[in-house]
Structure 1
Amino acid sequence: MAATYWLPILIAFVAIAVVSGTRYVLAEVFPYWMLKKQKHSKPHIVTESYAGRTVLITGAHGAFGSRAAKMFKDADTLVLIDVLDCTALKEEIEAERESDSKKKPNILVWTVDMMSYASCQELGRKIRTLQSLDHALLTAGILSFDRRESPEGWETTMQVNYLSTALLALLILPALKSSPSNPNPPVLTFTTSFGIYPASPTMPAPSRRGSYLKYLAREDRLSLAQMQPHMYGKSKICLLYFARELAARFTAVQQVKGKNDVPVVTVTSGDPGPAWTGLTQKNRDMLVPRLIQNYGSRDPHYGAVALVNSVSVSWKHHGRILTDNVETLPYPPLMARHSGHLSQKRVWDETRQELEAKVPEIKAVYGMLAAT
């Protein structure tokens, strides 16, 4: 009799646990509807002309960056930046313009070692020589399953995808200025990734002691959360925290200065969606990453279009995650919770401590982001 009484309760409990667990997984780790929608979307460039404008792209040798560079066809100045030489890409763009009987843009080819703060500083000095800078698209990144350490003492994925990208963004900020042909504030766009979702369970709320960034970048082979394959997603979550905080600080500064809440710089994050590229080829060797990649991947061309659109928007899109035809994506549930806001503050504060200690000139940039 007792067994008969408890059996329905047990079945109901198991059913509730399964449904709740499935909802958690789909919302937190694998929102398949986002991948499905992106995979079948074929976005187009929404900005009619970039005439007279200056565009800067990091990671210009990569699959997304190189394709994006060719989409700013009538830009006045195009700055191609990568650790690898982009001269061949420059020549391709010039040849395409010549075949169309169009004016060739002024194309600058610069290099940067994202493993080095000093190299980022040198690039920052070059960028500040530009008379104007309308669009800065940061696509540089790495995916490494072999743990290594950068000369700055950080795991290389966290160094390139997060710390050096954040540093470059701060160094670029003083150079961002709209050209006369651009009616909108200049746009700074970070590249985000679906990889933030499967990595989100590995991002606990920060403890009161120790470095949160160091904890996230460490490796403990006895802990699933600290395994190297999660490092890419964690670095992108840190970058998204940084981008959201940077956008919020620009908004706060403008409110204090009384400029109708219009930011002097529009900050966005662009999501190109998954694609099989040189960066993701390593996923073919692992079952789950390969299945996810196959499920959501599309032609890299469309990912590049999404990024170009994300760096071409008006101030109304400030602080948003954008994809395809300027469609807004939600921040992941991890970032919406109170613990996510606490993590964001720790990431911002610890990044500031790291960069100001290693790159003292960056203190002036942080100073201009103070609301009071």
Structure 2
Amino acid sequence: MAHTFNISPETRAGTLHFLYRQFFVRPPPVSRQTADLTGKTAIITGSNSGLGLETARQLIDLGAKVILAVRDESKGSEACLQLSEGRTLLPGSITVWKLDLSSYDSIIEFVSRARNLESLDIAVLNAGVYNVHEAFSSTGYEEDIQINYLSNILLTILLLPVIKIKSIGPGPGRIILVTSDVAAWSKFEERKSDPLLPVFQKPAASWNMSERYGTSKLLGQLFLTELVRHISPTEVIVTCTNPGFCRGSNLGRQAQGTLYFAYQIMTGLIGRSCSVGARTIVHAAAVLQEEVHGQYVEDAKIQPLPPLVYSKEGEIIRKRLYEETLTALSFAGLRDILQNKRLGTDMTQKSM
């Protein structure tokens, strides 16, 4: 994680700097002259609306073929029509695949299908949930933790050998985890638990939707900083990006009544458009190079992760979280994939 920043992690994590970014900072759009993705294929999860849809639109503008990975295929088909409108595209330029991140079987089936692609160069893992009320998945974990963290980590590691083999170059393929400012605001009181992950299988003493969402994103950032120590950026680049707080992102889709009204006011006052938010994702997917491996990209630049990540306590937590997560997902053979330094085809087959 060696990188020199022009701002401290503490300052970047503050509310004032968040508001400054929201009001005054706009990442530049990416042009085809800067990044021509002709011939390349990108998967975007959660791409039937909001940030995922806009990311797909911008990648298509750069010449990429896109796979819309969605839970509801009918909504994916509607998104496909929106993206095709006003364009002359070759057959197969936009396809819709089913992916339900609440189901391990769905994730495994999705990756198995991806192995049959002629090429796969980019995976933008954008799908997530922001639950108003506490709910638990069929795996036993609270849904924010399951979908935003565990399922996305499973998908990340299973895709590593596929992208390593299928990326057409030049340069390595890449996986982009879409994250959030709020990771830095999480109190993360669960960090005192040992082991850590089982605490997320129990009802919270007091449910706080924003706190849990932030924690789910922080877990992803902590895991990422350890994961990249086991992956060479010359094989696959793995990074995380923060698009900022965006209106129209569909993240607050569960809000109702007064909460919905408050959310709409807040997004109207300080929210960016999804078009602006997606620019940072596209920079990470198409412009920035190996220097972003294991880093946090915000407003199209590498910025500090939350202060906890750089502390001694954070180092201990990330290593413990890494081991616990690989154990929790051991059914998928993730250790075999990561221990095979070349991320070879035989390991892809074995993991499934």
Query: Secondary structure, in 3 states, of the residue corresponding to 1:238?
Result: helix
Deviations along 1:267-315, one digit per CA (max 9) or x if unpaired, are: 1101100012321353971899788756642111111111111122211
1:215 alignment partner in structure 2: 199
Rate the CA distance shift 1:264–1:293 in 2: closer, same or farther, 3 A.
same
How many angstroms does 1:95 deviate by?
2.9
- Say yes or no: does 1:33 pair with 2:29: no
- Say yes or no: does 1:263 pair with 2:255: no
1:302 to 276, 284, 293: 276
Distance 1:189 1:116 in 2: 21
Query: Secondary structure, in 3 states, of the residue corresponding to 1:81?
Result: strand
Rate the CA distance shift 1:217–1:306 in 2: closer, same or farther, 3 A.
farther
2:230 to 249, 274, 277: 249
1:77 alignment partner in structure 2: 65
8 Å Cα contact 2:50/2:274 also seen in 1: yes
Q: Which moved more, 1:308-317 or 1:289-298?
A: 289-298
Rate the CA distance shift 1:270–1:118 in 2: closer, same or farther, 3 A.
same
- Where do 5+ consecutive residues of structure 1 fail to align? 1-23, 252-261
- Where do 5+ consecutive residues of structure 2 fail to align? 1-7, 344-352
1:174 alignment partner in structure 2: 161
Given residue 29 of structure 2, which amino acid in structure 1 is its aligned partner? Answer: H
1:148 to 135, 151, 165: 135
Q: Which moved more, 1:88-97 or 1:118-127?
A: 88-97
Distance 1:280 1:305 in 2: 21
Query: Secondary structure, in 3 states, of the residue corresponding to 1:270?
Result: strand
2:312 alignment partner in structure 1: 338
Distance 1:341 1:40 in 2: 33
Query: Secondary structure, in 3 states, of the residue corresponding to 2:314?
Result: helix
Distance 2:100 2:260 in 1: 29
2:324 alignment partner in structure 1: 350
- Say yes or no: does 1:236 pair with 2:217: yes
How many angstroms does 1:183 deviate by?
1.8
Query: Secondary structure, in 3 states, of the residue corresponding to 2:66?
Result: strand
8 Å Cα contact 1:28/1:198 also seen in 2: no
Report the TM-score when normalising by structure 1: 0.79
- Say yes or no: does 1:202 pair with 2:188: yes
8 Å Cα contact 1:178/1:186 also seen in 2: no
Distance 1:50 1:71 in 2: 11
8 Å Cα contact 1:35/1:273 also seen in 2: no
Distance 1:337 1:30 in 2: 17
2:45 alignment partner in structure 1: 58
1:275 to 237, 243, 246: 246
8 Å Cα contact 1:161/1:235 also seen in 2: yes
2:110 alignment partner in structure 1: 123
2:5 alignment partner in structure 1: none
Query: Secondary structure, in 3 states, of the residue corresponding to 2:146?
Result: helix
Deviations along 1:2-36, one digit per CA (max 9) or x if unpaired, are: xxxxxxxxxxxxxxxxxxxxxx9974863421441
How many angstroms does 1:105 deviate by?
5.1
How many angstroms does 1:145 deviate by?
1.8
Rate the CA distance shift 1:25–1:329 in 2: closer, same or farther, 3 A.
closer
Query: Secondary structure, in 3 states, of the residue corresponding to 1:176?
Result: helix
Q: Which moved more, 1:67-76 or 1:161-170?
A: 67-76
Rate the CA distance shift 1:170–1:297 in 2: closer, same or farther, 3 A.
same
How many angstroms does 1:38 deviate by?
4.0
Rate the CA distance shift 1:221–1:288 in 2: closer, same or farther, 3 A.
farther
Given residue 318 of structure 1, which amino acid in structure 2 is its aligned partner? Answer: H
CA RMSD in angstroms, aligned pairs only:
3.0
Residue correspondences, number = 326
Deviations along 1:225-282, one digit per CA (max 9) or x if unpaired, are: x64441111110011112222222214xxxxxxxxxx531111101100012321353
1:362 alignment partner in structure 2: 334
1:88 alignment partner in structure 2: 78
How many angstroms does 1:65 deviate by?
0.4
Bigger radius of gyration, 1 or 2?
Answer: 1
How many angstroms does 1:78 deviate by?
1.3
Query: Secondary structure, in 3 states, of the residue corresponding to 1:148?
Result: coil
Deviations along 1:341-362, one digit per CA (max 9) or x if unpaired, are: 1111111111100100xx2443
- Say yes or no: does 1:139 pair with 2:126: yes
1:157 alignment partner in structure 2: 144
How many angstroms does 1:318 deviate by?
1.4
Distance 1:164 1:65 in 2: 17
1:318 alignment partner in structure 2: 293
1:11 alignment partner in structure 2: none
8 Å Cα contact 1:120/1:168 also seen in 2: yes
Distance 1:25 1:189 in 2: 21
